[in-house]
Amino acid sequence: MSQRLELTYGGELYDRTWRLYTGEVQPEGVRLRYLHTAIEDLFWRQGKYAEFDVAEYSMGAYLATLKNPDRAFVALPIFPSRAFRHASVYVNADASVSQPADLANTTVGTPEWSMTASLWMRGILGEHYGVDLTSIDWRTGGLEEAGRQEKAPVLPPADLRVTHIGDDDTLSALLLRRDLDALITARAPQAFLQGDPRIKRLWPDFRSAERGYFEATAIIPIMHVVVVRRALLAAHPWLANNLVDAFEAARTPVQHDLLDTAVCTSSLIWESAYAEEEAAVLGDPFRYGVANNAVTLQTLLNYAHQQGFTDHLLGYEEVFAPSTLSSARI
């Protein structure tokens, strides 16, 4: 048997990657060591120190690196994490913010300008709710711990006012004190989870808002992407598509597992009924590939350019390994 390429993958652990984690699925020609790594830690280590050969990474932070001709990584059209983010907008209960239009001329926090959840929601607020993003005072910094910095620095356009809160305060504390009117964050504030009445969601019925967004756009926002060292692809051009194939092979059986009424593969008693209901609305929500996600990707690239992540509107060949943009047909 020929020697296989030894690679280390850093990523969260999902049902759609479980078979890669156990080794049941391996990329052809590769022995993949899968290190289950918590997401904030993973993104910081990969963004700052490039610790992993292949890794799950923030889509927003990755797009922000594309200005650098010496960037270490290139993306593959594998999207291990997707989520609607209307649920991620929190407001101070005493602020005069009860609908999206009320965010104009307020102060809004987000942990990092490059956070993908925030990138999406800023774009959605502007495009679908008419919120003037330039009227908002934007603040970045640690959600629960002071001193958080950007993994991938972004220079927002001059008409967007973005400042860091400093190293002695947190966004959660600012929201509780009403020094912020609102907060966009992928991870919910601890005070909200503990039932503090001073924080509420902008959309209490966020699922209805998110379903309405999907029905209007057919978009399920992409949060994370898989990146691989550029040097590895230069040395082993076959690697990109072999990784794509393996991630797809690991993902494909999951929908069948969820719909199987013989057993519950998760701790949700009505798992199969819920999966059937969701599939009827969303179809195959975690599909990979550029062609399968063209509308979503084009929208994301538009938002990224508008918000200063990129200096021009990127084409797909600038974002992903070119060999993954097409496939053989029979």
Task: Write out pLDDT tens, residues 224-240.
Answer: 999 999 999 999 999 99
- Is 42 inside any structural domain? yes
165 and 112 in a common domain: yes
44 and 70, same domain (yes or no) = yes
Do 244 and 193 share a structural domain?
no
Tell me: do 117 and 202 sit in the same domain: yes
Residue 57: pLDDT band by 50, 70, 90 thresholds? very high
| Mean per-residue pLDDT of the chain | 96
Question: Could you give the number of structural domains in the chain?
Answer: 2
For residue 50, give the CATH number of its domain: 3.40.190.10
Please indicate, yes or no, whether residues 258 and 313 belong to a single structural domain of this protein: yes
Give the structural domain span for 149: 86-217
Report the candidate in 201, 187, 221, 183 with the shortest Cα–Cα distance to residue 304. 221
According to DSSP, the β-strands at 224-229 and 54-58 are antiparallel
Per-residue confidence band for 2, with pLDDT thresholds at 50, 70 and 90: low
Assigned domain for 139 exists = yes
Based on the fold, state whether residues 226 and 313 are members of the same structural domain.
Answer: yes
Examine the domain organization and report whether 98 and 207 are in the same domain.
yes
Is there a single domain that holds both residue 236 and residue 286?
Answer: yes
Global pTM reads 0.95
**Do residue 194 and residue 111 come from a single domain?**
yes
Q: Is residue 329 included in any domain, yes or no? A: no
For residue 326, give both structure tokens.
């097409």
Residue 97 reports pLDDT greater than 70: yes
- Where is the domain boundary, 164, 191, 217? 217
Which residue, among 96, 126, 121, has the nearest Cα to 109 in the 3D structure?
A: 121
**pLDDT value of position 137:** 98
pLDDT at 306 over 60: yes
Residue 102 is assigned to a structural domain of this protein? yes
The rounded percent of the chain whose pLDDT value lies above 70 is: 99
Q: Is residue 94 in some structural domain?
A: yes
Q: Is residue 48 assigned to a domain?
A: yes
Residue 330: inside a domain: no
| Whether 109 and 128 share a structural domain | yes
What is the residue type of 149? Answer: Q
Residue where one domain finishes, among candidates 186, 217, 248 = 217
57 within domain boundaries: yes
**67 and 92 part of one domain:** no
How sure is the predictor about 153, in pLDDT bands with cuts at 50, 70 and 90? Answer: confident
**Integer Cα distance of 127 and 13 in angstroms:** 33
What's the pLDDT tens digit per position in 156-192? 999 999 999 999 999 999 999 999 999 999 999 999 9
**Same-domain status, 76 and 153:** no
- The residue out of 200, 217, 234 marking a domain boundary is 217
Residues whose CB falls within 8 Å of the CB of residue 138, separated by 6 or more in sequence, listed in order = 107, 108, 109, 110, 113, 156, 160, 161, 162, 163
